[in-house]
Amino acid sequence: MEKRGISKLDLKRRNRMQILRVIRESGPISRVDVASALEITRAAVTIITNEMIEEGVLVEIGEAPVNTEKLQKGRRKILIDINVNSRFALGATVDEKEVSIGLTNLNSEVLDKASMVIDDRTTSKDIINYIIKTSNEMVENSALTKDKILGLGVGVVPSMWGKLKIFYKDGVLDFTNFIDKLSGGLNFEIHCGNAIGLMALASNDFRTQNGYQTNQAFIHNGNQVNLAIINKNELSADYVSYTSTIERYIVCPNGKSYEGYPNGSVKAELSRTAMLNAFCEIYSKDKTPVLYELTEGDKNAINTDNVFMALMRGEETVKNVVDDLIAKYTVLINNLAISHFAKRIVLHNFKLNEKQFDYCKREMIRLVSEEIADRVVLSKLDGKNNFLGGCALIIQDNFYVRGGMQ
């Protein structure tokens, strides 16, 4: 009879993976507290963590602080943590305007980074050659040995899948062709994914708050509007591939139409094209003299900075459009907060400075509540740091999932 079950190696990897997860979510922690969190014996945790310390995956960082209210007898707890410099990750992200590449440690601290501006004339071969050349240069310049590199994680935004010959196969994104071309010039593992979800992972705070994991909604504003949801510190399966479904959400019942989408959808009301059209509809020397002056009579010069400058100079017509757009985004954000229990909503690639974002937050507070508005933050990933999404993928797959084992 065929015997089935989990192998000793798989069990070992799973135990190590669970220990790494607890440390990642709780920060420096004692072996006793790890055992309590996982409901396994202290002896088992001690054996496993000691082995991980010998390998350099974990590190002891000293005794736990004294709690004067709960003084305990015996030895003080020794805290352990992940050795963030035990392994390193290469990451790349391809979006509509840029290819960004970087090298980080396990804590996403950047050791090196580079980027290349792209446009419609940039070929898939140009992009692939740049990733190969720059990745090899970074590894060589870092003086790191191959065993220290987890691999290369690559994120590609949905609007670039066609150019790079990435298509769905049996309902799943198939990166085989893309990976094969990269593998021809790289001598380490390559993992790929939808850049939206990967950047959401890179933006996630894995630490528990009051013992609870915080759900996060990540909204990317590009040629498409895309959404990814982090649920209990993992990318929700519904958003691994199909991140553009947010464009079908309704933010203005019976609002503007767009073929193939419901009236008042995100696609019709809040896409880049839709928002630009909203300002073009009012744009004229008579109706928007300040904006007209700032753009020197050129509609193509309408951008976020010019719009907010006109608003701050008292252009009422412009203010009305801005406030209307914020109101629709507030509807979207409120719905995400409720439907996904999202305690944090990250806005990525919105190109807002601090003053502009503060204005948006004040409007949100007026429309819904301070509690909802306080959940909204701007993404720390911006352009040249988008590669952190690729790093997050390879760190997750080749370090945490493998329990730090090579």
Say whether pLDDT at 2 is over 70. no
Give me the torsion for CA of 268, 250, 232, 364, rounded to 10°.
Answer: 90
Q: Which of 104, 106, 156 is nearest to 135 (CA)?
A: 104
Dist. CA 187–CA 143, nearest whole Å: 15
Candidate CATH numbers 1.10.1790.20, 3.40.50.1820, 1.20.120.610, 1.10.10.10; the one for domain 8-82: 1.10.10.10
Residue with token string 């199909």: 242
pLDDT tens, 102-141? 999 999 999 999 999 999 999 999 999 999 999 999 999 9
Q: What is the pTM of this model?
A: 0.92
Say whether pLDDT at 383 is over 80. no
Domains 88-202+385-400 and 209-379 share a fold: yes
Dist. CA 245–CA 220, nearest whole Å: 12
Q: Write the burial class of residue 48 (CB in 10 Å: 0-12 exposed, 13-18 middle, 19+ buried).
A: buried
Question: 309-330 burial, b if ≥16 CB within 10 A, otherwise e?
Answer: bbbeeebebbbebbbebbbbbb
Domain extent listing, the chain: 8-82, 88-202+385-400, 209-379
Average pLDDT, the chain: 93
Identify the pLDDT of residue 287. Answer: 96
Quick one: 209-379 is in which CATH superfamily?
ATPase, nucleotide binding domain (3.30.420.40)
- pLDDT bin (cut points 50, 70, 90) of residue 370 is very high
Mean pLDDT of 149-165: 97
Identify the pLDDT of residue 332. Answer: 98
Q: Which of 350, 355, 376 is nearest to 365 (CA)?
A: 376
CA R_g for the chain: 24
Q: pLDDT: is 73 or 344 the higher one?
A: 344
| DSSP characters over 4-50 | -S--HHHHHHHHHHHHHHHHHHH-SEEHHHHHHHHT--HHHHHHHHH
Dist. CA 394–CA 397, nearest whole Å: 5
Dist. CA 93–CA 164, nearest whole Å: 12
DSSP E strands in 73-212: the ranges are 78-82, 88-94, 98-105, 110-117, 149-156, 167-169, 172-174, 190-194
Identify the pLDDT of residue 76. Answer: 73
Question: 249-270 burial, b if ≥16 CB within 10 A, otherwise e?
Answer: bbbbeebeebeebbebbbbbbb
Q: pLDDT: is 303 or 67 the higher one?
A: 303
In the CATH hierarchy, which fold is given to the domain comprising 88-202+385-400?
Nucleotidyltransferase; domain 5 (3.30.420)
- pLDDT bin (cut points 50, 70, 90) of residue 194 is very high
Identify the pLDDT of residue 213. Answer: 76
Mean pLDDT of 315-335: 98
- pLDDT bin (cut points 50, 70, 90) of residue 177 is very high
Non-local (6+) Cβ contacts of 118 within 8 A are 94, 96, 97, 98, 99, 126, 127
Residue 352 DSSP class = -
Q: Which of 123, 198, 197 is nearest to 153 (CA)?
A: 198
pLDDT tens, 271-321? 999 999 999 999 999 999 999 999 999 999 999 999 999 999 999 999 999
